[in-house]
Structure 1
């Protein structure tokens, strides 16, 4: 693949989990992927994974992984990240806003006032960090002929899931994708909110292994973390990708549209029957 055709991508929060899976899948199609996260060495997080390990695996698969230790709660570090991308490549084709703080107590039962106040950190690294990364990425996306921004999300933006902090954060990144699409439309940059399914991440598998009688059935419908990345790669290479801009899309349904299969050869089912339709917005624009 020539340098001109090589996709340049940034995937935030890619030391592990969904971000790592997305980054690896983009590497599979030959992309140069900037991998960001706070984990520089094993032990920095209770869960395994580092930005360096993800980047190395991308390179082993035929892409080019570039690790960048970055705290997405620090705007100066985020600005420096995109300054590096601009200096080294002059453009950005794909931004995946995936960085998310997952505070202790998120999945605990009970009303929000009985949970830690610290759950509002979801609105800093998740909601706010997606806006900041998009802000600094925008000038580079405008230099691409096929720019794409993905806000990873979930049905929690439409149903009750883990309480109001999580729900508000997901609903907001969905709406942010819609509104950013209005601003980017004239520049041929697509922005999509992607509802991922239940993913077989390190965190999810640890919960399942700890309580298989409670969570084991989830494996029947769970997706690999790489599935969403395969869907994003297909969307990024679609000349008609602007048709999805400003929309909330289910990864499973986009995967069916593009004929994308998971790492086990299966095609995950749409969760629409469980969660209902995706969020839709008015076409009214007031500037």
Structure 2
């Protein structure tokens, strides 16, 4: 978890920094908004909380270059691996398709005010509500 989940974000952010500065871009990291008492899995919690901390620190380090760093917590996403793992079992309510997460990230990227989120961890559910993006078949809020 720490090697793949945290270190990979750190190495990617480090190598992307020059390009982000050149293009005044936005770094989007995938972390996890931990519940108050964590999930009960120490290495998962450490890796995901570390990604949020990396996002906040990167936002501070690159702010003078007009670069934003936002950590996005996608929640339970119906990836191909998840669908295979669940098989015929029902998926948890509130899970998101990968397409839904992609639409939310696209809206964040295209939002001229997205830099206001720099340094914060936001959930795709909160972003979806903000941008009024729903899964196909959902009833709009």
* TM-score over 0.5 for the pair: yes
Aligned to 1:239: 112
* 1:117-266 equivalent positions in 2, closer than 5 A: 122-145=1-24, 147-156=25-34, 159-161=37-39, 163-209=41-87, 212=89, 216-218=90-92, 220-262=93-135, 264-266=136-138
Deviation at 1:154, TM superposition (A): 2.2
Distance 1:157 1:133 in 2: 26
Instruction: Find the residue that maps to 1:155 and give its secondary structure.
Output: coil
- Structure 1 gap ranges (5+): 1-121, 270-287
Instruction: Find the residue that maps to 2:108 and give its secondary structure.
Output: helix
Distance 1:158 1:205, change over 3 A: farther
Distance 1:155 1:128 in 2: 18
Distance 1:131 1:268 in 2: 37
Does the 8 Å CA contact 1:157/1:169 hold for their aligned counterparts?
Answer: no
1:81-134 deviations in Å (ceiling 9; x for gaps): xxxxxxxxxxxxxxxxxxxxxxxxxxxxxxxxxxxxxxxxx1111201111111
Distance 1:267 1:196 in 2: 20
Instruction: Find the residue that maps to 1:249 and give its secondary structure.
Output: strand
Distance 1:158 1:250 in 2: 15
Larger gyration radius, structure 1 or structure 2: 1
Structure ranking higher in helix proportion? 2
- Structure 2 gap ranges (5+): none
Does the 8 Å CA contact 1:223/1:268 hold for their aligned counterparts?
Answer: no
